Amino acid sequence: MLVPLSWLNEFVEIDLPVDQLAEILTMAGLEVTKVVHKGAEWDQEAVVVGEIVEVKPHPNADRLNLAVVDYGRENTMTVVTGAPNLLRVDTGKKVVFATTGARLIDSHSSEKKYLTLKPTKIRGVFSEGMVCSEKELGISDEHQGIIFLDPDAPVGKSLNEYLGDEILELDLTPNLAHALSIRGVARELAALTGKKLKEPATKISAKKLLGTSQDIDISGTSNPAFIKIDIIAKDLCSRYSASLIKHVTVKPSPYWLQYRLRMAGMRPINNVVDITNYCMLEGGQPLHAFDYDKLSGAEIIVRRAHQKEKMTTLDGVTRDLDQDMLLITDGSGPVAIAGVMGGEKTEVGQDTTNVLLESANFNLISIRRTAQKLKLPSEASLRFGRGLDPELTIPTVTHATSLMRDLASEEKNLPGVIDAYPVPVKKKVINLDPDEVKRVLGMEFTSQEISDILQSLQFGCENISWEGKDLIKVTVPSYRLDVSITADLVEEIVRIHGYHRIPTTLMEDSLPPQRFDPALKVEEQLRDILVGCGLTEVISYSLISLEIEALLNPEKQLPDSRAYVKIINPITKDREYLRNNLLSSMLEVLKLNLKHTDRVAAFEIGRSYLPQSEGDLPLEPHLLAIGLTGQIYPSSWKRGTTGEMDFFYLKGVIENLLKNINIRDYTFEPASHPTFNPGRAATLILKGEEVGIIGELSPLVRDNFDLPPGTICLSQLSLGKLVELREPVLFYRSIPRFPSIKQDMALVMDEEIPASRVMEVIRKAGGKLLNDITLFDLYQGEQIPRGQKSLTFSMTYQAKDRNLTDNEVQKIHKRIENQVAISLEAHLRG
């Protein structure tokens, strides 16, 4: 909302600098996001109020005129103008006059470009100034014609002094419906600065208003002749007030009114529409003007739309209506969608003579819903949609009617206001316990302090005694729809008092039992382990497309959408489903980065989302994904290249990870998964359960994702299972006191025998004195027969209680040799 300070000033005295004002409002919850000084760029000397003395034709150009302007200096000035709205008869009209040196916006440029006015010769006539349009002054984009100021504009006065203003831009939260108007902001400011609110009589300066609202009969239903109001949908319309203004002339508004609307962010249309907007901005109550003569029968019926009913709104669009929408109808059908937009049929236009002015209170939910459904947000539906005080309809319609009489009509005799208000709203009363204020805020307030603050906000306060307690009976102003319980009053008290005056304390409350979530702890541990392995953490979108998922399959077959949670209102097609795995996200990360580097080592810890049967929320298992590609180590002048990360590098990372979260008993078994290269993938098995998959990416899938050639390693593990199946308790193992003996053994065997099987046999044969075995060489080639391989192990023998003798070790070593020969037909490499 835009609030011109000059307007605000009509309701409350302002004696603070605007920055301070903005801060006070911001601190109290009315956030001022910007302050604009309108007119700051108008040169004090060179942009002034002028008066047209004469308009003459340009001697050399048909489309140009010469304007003789009195601008308060000794001599008038004659300037060339092309303004189409400046006519010979416009003598005596007030204009904005700019002379040499004025900085103006170039009206012929589509972007905001400043020009400094210089004397020029236009078609042979020397011109040292110009009469300005709104665009040139930065008031609006209007540059079809020049501005005509009000007749009382003082000639020669600097425009900055005459029209310059500070505009506050407020970003109001939804609870501040009562502050969505100039008057509403003024009320807040009065409470915050201790100034008195100025009374409505002065809300329009006398010179602009010929009469006051007191002249209008507001006895309401006593004079029902001009319209009959029938509220059928009483739940959606609590009050409907209306007045009739006869013999109007629809024309542009006086400039002060147009300018105010501009400054408040609205576009002037004509005097009738402008007055409804003006009153809405000032008081918060939206109004609607009907062409009275175009209503069928002097009757307004407020009802819900029928199913499949249609109407054409004033923007010329035919709208489909439904039963949740509230309509204003006449004898023949809808004339407006209540609170949202008027109908084309009864729109006020040039030929309108009689205006019916509506000032009503509609249900906020209905208006919000309708405006959203029809995608018709407006200043009016915004205000209705946040809730309005039913007490506002009469003062606003009265005010607007008097303005119309003065600015649009010749008829001074007005028939009054009609008011249908079936169930008047009761005033809300809250019995406030001052102790409650202290309990919540942690700061002492006396009853007097509380009452003073609330009264400054127009709340009624009365000290009462109830069950032996001193309470304050607080009567809530009708426009404070947001206040209904004690907590609301506490907020009012503290925000006016100032949060900076609340002390800062440390909690003295009892400390709840401290329990941590083991799963989250393991997750953090995994992050550290993987970062330690040189992997970088990524976080990718949970939202994906099935098309991306299809790429995980060599045939690009679309997966079954039932395996995914679907968004019904996706923002784009590529973010339509929640992912049920992290693999495609990881491959996207690799792809993105491989455009600028040739090595990526990344991991992600995130959720997958698995749909459940109707009515149940999806499961959200946490997963770990790893993606590796490129060189093991950075190449360097000292080391050269080190080979690329492959299956075994990935496996090393995984084994390290398992070891560091205390998982020892696991196995890897060959896996088959369409995303992975068939012979180079394995399933991780823990206590008989599948925990995840590791492997190299299938070259077909690599092409699907448009990844560059080279090995890509990928893994995905279930974090839930890792947490569940790990050994939660870790026991220390004593450090050996006796020396170990190392011996190597090179074995030749059939190449099909898995290494894990060989190590199992060795471990078993070695018994408990065989402390460790490490495979340090794998050989296949000329030196051994085809179809065989050689594995070389380093065995570490050690006893806990003594020095081992060479003899003992030889015996075990021999035992192993025999056992592998029997079980695996393996023999020592000669």
Partner 1 sequence: MLLEDLRILQQRAENTLDDSDSPEELENWKIKYLGRKGELTHILRGIGSLPKEERSSAGKVSNQVKVALEKIYEEKKRYFDEKQYHDKMMERIDITLPGHPIYQGKLHPSTRILRQIYSIFAPMGFQIFDGPEVETDLYNFELLNMPPHHPARDMWDTFYINKKTLLRTHTSPGQIHAMKYFCPDPIRVILPGKCYRYEAITARSEIMFHQIEGLAVGKSLTMADLKGILVEFAHQMFGDGRKTRFRCSYFPFTEPSVEMDIDCMICKGKGCQICKRTGWLEILGAGIVHPQVLKNGGYDPRVYCGLAFGMGPERIAMLKYGIDDIRHFFSNDLRFLEQFC
By CB under 8 A, the residues from 574 to 593 that bind partner 1 are: 575, 578, 589, 592-593
The answer to the question of residue 570 lying near partner 1 (CB under 8 A) is yes
Which of 100, 353, 378, 542 is the binder for partner 1 (CB under 8 A)?
A: 542
Helix, strand, coil shares of the chain, percent, nearest 5, are 30, 30, 40
Angle at the Cα of 549 from the Cα atoms of 547 and 551, rounded to 5 degrees:
80
The SS3 call for residue 357 is strand
Sequence-ordered list of residues with C-beta below 8 angstroms from that of 232, at least 6 positions apart, any chain? 301, 302, 303, 304
Residue closer to partner 1 by CB (options 540, 704) is 540
Which of 2, 440, 685, 700 is the binder for partner 1 (CB under 8 A)?
A: 440
Contacts (CB under 8 A) with partner 1, residues 588-617: 589, 592-593, 596-597, 600-602, 607, 609, 617
Tell me which stretch binds partner 1 (CB under 8 A): 197-205, 283-291, 361-369, 453-461. 361-369
The SS3 call for residue 820 is helix
Which of 245, 257, 565, 816 is the binder for partner 1 (CB under 8 A)?
A: 565
Least Å from the CB of residue 512 to partner 1: 5
Which of 114, 126, 466, 541 is the binder for partner 1 (CB under 8 A)?
A: 541
Residue closer to partner 1 by CB (options 253, 593) is 593
| 131 to 59, 127, 156, 407, 532: CA distances (angstroms) | 19, 11, 13, 26, 73
Tell me which stretch binds partner 1 (CB under 8 A): 2-10, 632-640, 721-729, 817-825. 632-640
Residue closer to partner 1 by CB (options 63, 639) is 639
Least Å from the CB of residue 625 to partner 1: 12
Tell me which stretch binds partner 1 (CB under 8 A): 464-472, 565-573, 751-759, 771-779. 565-573
Tell me which stretch binds partner 1 (CB under 8 A): 60-68, 280-288, 504-512, 729-737. 504-512
The answer to the question of residue 724 lying near partner 1 (CB under 8 A) is no
Which of 313, 540, 629, 790 is the binder for partner 1 (CB under 8 A)?
A: 540
Which of 63, 108, 639, 733 is the binder for partner 1 (CB under 8 A)?
A: 639
The answer to the question of residue 499 lying near partner 1 (CB under 8 A) is yes
The answer to the question of residue 624 lying near partner 1 (CB under 8 A) is no
* Residue pair 318/334 in contact by the 8 Å Cβ criterion: no
Burial status of residue 601 (CB atoms within 10 A of its CB: 0-12, 13-18, 19 or more) = buried
- List phi, psi (to 5°) of 115: -130, 150
Tell me which stretch binds partner 1 (CB under 8 A): 153-161, 402-410, 560-568, 723-731. 560-568
The answer to the question of residue 721 lying near partner 1 (CB under 8 A) is no
Contacts (CB under 8 A) with partner 1, residues 442-461: 442-443
Least Å from the CB of residue 656 to partner 1: 12
- List phi, psi (to 5°) of 795: -105, 135
- List phi, psi (to 5°) of 394: -65, -55
* Residue pair 683/487 in contact by the 8 Å Cβ criterion: no
Which of 89, 206, 423, 507 is the binder for partner 1 (CB under 8 A)?
A: 507
DSSP 8-state code for residue 450? H
Residue closer to partner 1 by CB (options 406, 436) is 436
Residue closer to partner 1 by CB (options 364, 471) is 364
| 496 to 23, 190, 455, 714, 743: CA distances (angstroms) | 13, 11, 11, 59, 83
Site string for partner 1, 510-529 (x = CB under 8 A): xxxxxxxx-xx---x--x--
Residue closer to partner 1 by CB (options 34, 764) is 34
Residue closer to partner 1 by CB (options 206, 571) is 571
Which of 86, 264, 272, 364 is the binder for partner 1 (CB under 8 A)?
A: 364
DSSP 8-state code for residue 640? B
Tell me which stretch binds partner 1 (CB under 8 A): 326-334, 400-408, 534-542, 721-729. 534-542
- List phi, psi (to 5°) of 192: -80, -30
| Residues 639-676 as b or e (16 or more Cβ within 10 Å = b) | eeeeebbbbebbbebbbebbeeeebeeeebeebebebb
The answer to the question of residue 506 lying near partner 1 (CB under 8 A) is yes
Contacts (CB under 8 A) with partner 1, residues 683-712: none
The answer to the question of residue 504 lying near partner 1 (CB under 8 A) is yes
Contacts (CB under 8 A) with partner 1, residues 656-685: none
Going by C-alpha positions, the residue among 592, 585, 602 that lies closest to residue 551 is 585
Burial status of residue 53 (CB atoms within 10 A of its CB: 0-12, 13-18, 19 or more) = middle
Contacts (CB under 8 A) with partner 1, residues 371-390: 385-387
Which of 495, 702, 726, 813 is the binder for partner 1 (CB under 8 A)?
A: 495
Contacts (CB under 8 A) with partner 1, residues 463-492: 485-488, 490-491
Which of 101, 211, 534, 767 is the binder for partner 1 (CB under 8 A)?
A: 534
The answer to the question of residue 509 lying near partner 1 (CB under 8 A) is yes
Strands (E), 338-386: 341-342, 355-362
Give the amino acid at 301. Answer: I
Contacts (CB under 8 A) with partner 1, residues 167-186: 173-177
Site string for partner 1, 9-38 (x = CB under 8 A): -----------------xxxx-x-xx----
Tell me which stretch binds partner 1 (CB under 8 A): 73-81, 214-222, 635-643, 788-796. 635-643
d(CA 401, CA 245): 7
The answer to the question of residue 535 lying near partner 1 (CB under 8 A) is yes
Sequence-ordered list of residues with C-beta below 8 angstroms from that of 443, at least 6 positions apart, any chain? 501, 502, 503
Give the amino acid at 788. Answer: Q
Write down the residue that tokens 């006539």 correspond to: 125
Residue closer to partner 1 by CB (options 508, 560) is 508
- Could you tell me whether strands 299-304 and 228-231 are parallel, antiparallel, or unpaired per DSSP bridges? parallel
End-to-end CA, the chain: 91
| Element at 299 (helix H, strand E) | strand 299-304
Query: By rule CB under 8 A, what count of residues binds partner 1?
Result: 96
| Residues 203-226 as b or e (16 or more Cβ within 10 Å = b) | bbeeeebeebbeebebeeeeeeeb
